[in-house]
Amino acid sequence: MLKTLDRNAERWALLVFYVMLVVTMAVEVLRREVFSYSSIWGEEIVRYSFIYLAWIGAAAAVRERGHIRIDVLMHYLGPRAKALLYIFGDLVMAAVALVALYWSWETVTVSYRFDSVSHGLRVSMIWFLMAVPLGFGLMVLRLVQSFLRDLRALRDGTPVYEGDKMFD
C-alpha cells in the first residue's frame, strides 16, 4: 500500500484539485451566462485549487525529473559524472526548498495567530496557505528519494535516472 501511495500520491491529489477546478469553473460559467448570477466562493475555489495544483505538480515534477532543464552538457558526461551532477543539483534544490519551507510555514503561523479567513468562503486562510509548505515538504521528500536513488546509481556504476524525455 505504501508503494502505491509513494508512486501515485501526487497524481491522485492533482486529479482531485483539477476536477474541483474544472467543475467549479463550469458551474460558475453556467451560472453567470444562464442565470446572470455569480458567486465569490466559486472564484476562490478555482484560485486555490490552481495554487494547490501548481505546488503539488512541482513536487511531482521533482519526483519524475520533469522540470525544464538544459542537458546539452549531460550528453558528454559519463555515468559517474552525471550522477555527481544530479546529486549536486538535488542538494542545492533541497537547500532552497528547506528555506522556502521555513518561510512559507512562517506565513501559515502568522495567519493562524491572526485568525484570518477568506473573503468568500469564510474559511480559515490556513487551509489555502498550506499549499506552499505542503508543496515544498513534498519536494524535500522527493529530493531525498532522488538523492538516495542517485547515490545508489553512483555506487553501482549504473546510469542515473534522468526522467522521461519530452521530445525524442
- Residue 146 burial class via C-beta count within 10 angstroms: exposed 0-12, middle 13-18, buried 19 and up: buried
Q: For the residues 76-90, what does the mean pLDDT come to?
A: 88
Higher-confidence residue of 70 and 62: namely 62
Residue with cell 491572526: 114
pLDDT of residue 161: 84
Mark 65-99 as b/e (b = at least 16 C-beta within 10 Å). beeeeeeeeeeeeeeeebbebbbebbeebbeebee
What are the beta bridge partners of residue 124? 117
144 confidence band (pLDDT: 50, 70, 90): very high
**How is the chain split into domains, by residue range?**
2-156
166 confidence band (pLDDT: 50, 70, 90): low
28-32, 58-62, 160-164: which range is least confident on average?
A: 160-164
For residue 106 the three cell numbers come to 512562517
Strand (E) or helix (H) holding 162: none
88 confidence band (pLDDT: 50, 70, 90): very high
* pLDDT at residue 21 is higher than 80: yes
Give the single-character DSSP code of 158. Answer: P
